[in-house]
Structure 1
């Protein structure tokens, strides 16, 4: 099987223990996380050969990070070494009516200083079947946006499938350009587009036609988003599939979770009621990892691919850290309806 390549920033994650607030905590738990790395680890867990590309400094923290990726069978041989620092994010996990908080310390990170030509995309992608990126990467700097575009155009020339998670983060776009200025050229080269209705509206001005979307209370109607999918496909005609994640937020500890996929028609997933969230960070990335696996494994069955993605990401909400450390069997058991959580002996 040909490999999948993902590209983006991985950060040191420093989280308060349990549900402590920053001001209460006298220690932080250190792990790593980042959208495209999270996707890579999901795919590696499903037995898909995957390589992660980023830029990291020559220091012990970066070596530790690379070691973590290798531990989960992610190839790292084309990670570029250079620059001065690994980006950091701080996490305070919320509960019930108190939302989680994320504070970024990633300015001047090694990948933010990447420039076109640093990665030999032609060589790296020549034996690949899929390239994945997210909207976080071009938000970091002009150089990161240019390197991402360089990868997408190379993948297009080589016939490599390109997927993106729109992942709009308004607080990251600080280098003088907006997502609306940068993202369209990149998304034009994508075959698979994942996002939510907020991403579509904030970046492209696309919103559901004739509906008001309400996420509070947990009841999110998938049919509302068919128009968003159609509008995205019209705007970006290369796209063969558009996928929308559906999160209903009852409170910080209790969400509903599902998704819809539009290709030849609208496919809707089962809806999961997640009444106790252990860690929702990385939930969208676990969906993307499950979706890529599903589309490769069930190429003629969009419904099954969507169901795999939703079940995989449902399980991620029960796992601490950014990475979705679940097996295919565990996902398939949930898809079959086993939601009991009984002890496996």
Structure 2
């Protein structure tokens, strides 16, 4: 089983501790990026995973790639060209103060790709799964075209395609309406992770007040409305996944999720997370674990609960990506073993 992920590799810079940008005199550097995070997480479960991206052939690009390789990801498809690494700056939140992100990705090596940069038929010739995210087509017209070329190649080969829609308002800056780009990409995708903002901004699907319902332990949500609307508009979708997050404050969240297969809804376990170490990458760790479950468990409830446990675990780990084995995630699912020392 080979899984291929595609997206930009980044350096993340964060003020030390919980300082604000205006206070910081030094920054911690880590490597990440949505699709790289997923690849590194999958590799920890023992999956065969390849990561496709472009970085400059300089010390920064090579250093970032070494970090990905260190965690067991096949980096052979990576291209080395262009002149700039993508960066983002994260001010971590805490208690009542939320976090803040500043992107420095314009003009990066990755944004200069187009539909012909990669030979997708060759890259996917023996693949069993392909994953992309809504972050990639937000970066440039060429990145959107490359995403479509990859999805169409996967479709020709009958390879399942998954996507985290991941709407990022600060990235869609190259003069195109996301609603002109995303529908064609979603048409070729079989498993979609989405929330209300994603479908509103990408597809213009906006729920009314009557579409919301109260979920015990969470705010009002309308996952049923958006899931059914997505499946109705895109018959190619086999499964819609929605995560449920109740933010008590920036350090304390309640976490769960729901899947819809076109016939029934399945709700997962609820995790109380009272002391978040690093909120970034929670969705990526969920998506990685969900892909692992879909390709290994043959049980939708177990897959969802595994993904929720994995992402809850990630929130205790600094950095962008999850460092958890399958066994460690199972221990989180077995809540009686939580917080015990592994002796």
Structure 1 residues 25 and 214, CA gap change in structure 2 (3 angstroms): farther
- Report the counterpart of residue 196 of structure 1 in structure 2: 195
- Tell me, yes or no, if the aligned pair for 1:166 and 1:193 is still in contact at 8 Å: yes
Rounded to whole Å, the distance in 1 between the matches of 2:192 and 2:93 is 29
- Report the counterpart of residue 62 of structure 1 in structure 2: 61
Rounded to whole Å, the distance in 1 between the matches of 2:85 and 2:24 is 23
Select which of 254, 261, 275 maps to 2:252.
254
State the secondary structure of the residue aligned to 1:128.
coil
1:197 Cα deviation from its structure 2 partner: 1.7
- Report the counterpart of residue 36 of structure 1 in structure 2: 35
Rounded to whole Å, the distance in 1 between the matches of 2:247 and 2:13 is 25
1:80 Cα deviation from its structure 2 partner: 1.3
Rounded to whole Å, the distance in 2 between the matches of 1:158 and 1:320 is 38
- Tell me, yes or no, if the aligned pair for 1:218 and 1:247 is still in contact at 8 Å: no
State the secondary structure of the residue aligned to 2:192.
strand
Q: Deviations over 1:48-94 (max 9, x none)?
A: 00000011111010000110011001011111111111111111111
1:277 Cα deviation from its structure 2 partner: 0.4
- Report the counterpart of residue 237 of structure 1 in structure 2: 235
Runs of 4+ more than 3 Å apart: 211-215
Rounded to whole Å, the distance in 2 between the matches of 1:242 and 1:219 is 19
- Report the counterpart of residue 50 of structure 1 in structure 2: 49
Rounded to whole Å, the distance in 2 between the matches of 1:180 and 1:213 is 27
1:105 Cα deviation from its structure 2 partner: 0.8
State the secondary structure of the residue aligned to 1:36.
helix
- Tell me, yes or no, if the aligned pair for 2:88 and 2:103 is still in contact at 8 Å: yes
Report matched runs for 1:182-331 at 5 Å. Answer: 182-208=181-207, 210-212=210-212, 219-220=218-219, 224-263=222-261, 264-299=263-298, 301-331=299-329
Report matched runs for 1:22-171 at 5 Å. Answer: 22-171=21-170
1:179 Cα deviation from its structure 2 partner: 1.2
Per mean C-alpha deviation after superposition, the further-off stretch among 283-292 and 329-338 is 329-338
State the secondary structure of the residue aligned to 1:293.
helix
State the secondary structure of the residue aligned to 1:4.
strand
1:6 Cα deviation from its structure 2 partner: 0.4
Rounded to whole Å, the distance in 1 between the matches of 2:337 and 2:152 is 43
Tell me the number of residue pairs that the alignment of Structure 1 and Structure 2 aligns. 341
Unaligned runs of 5+ in 2: none
- Tell me, yes or no, if the aligned pair for 2:276 and 2:316 is still in contact at 8 Å: yes
Rounded to whole Å, the distance in 1 between the matches of 2:337 and 2:87 is 35
Root-mean-square deviation (CA, aligned residues, Å) is: 1.6
1:227 Cα deviation from its structure 2 partner: 2.0
State the secondary structure of the residue aligned to 1:193.
strand
1:243 Cα deviation from its structure 2 partner: 0.3
Q: Deviations over 1:274-323 (max 9, x none)?
A: 10000010000000001000111112x11111000000000000000001
1:20 Cα deviation from its structure 2 partner: 1.0
State the secondary structure of the residue aligned to 1:320.
coil
Rounded to whole Å, the distance in 1 between the matches of 2:213 and 2:138 is 26
Rounded to whole Å, the distance in 2 between the matches of 1:96 and 1:113 is 39
Task: Report the TM-score, using the length of structure 2 for normalisation.
Answer: 0.96
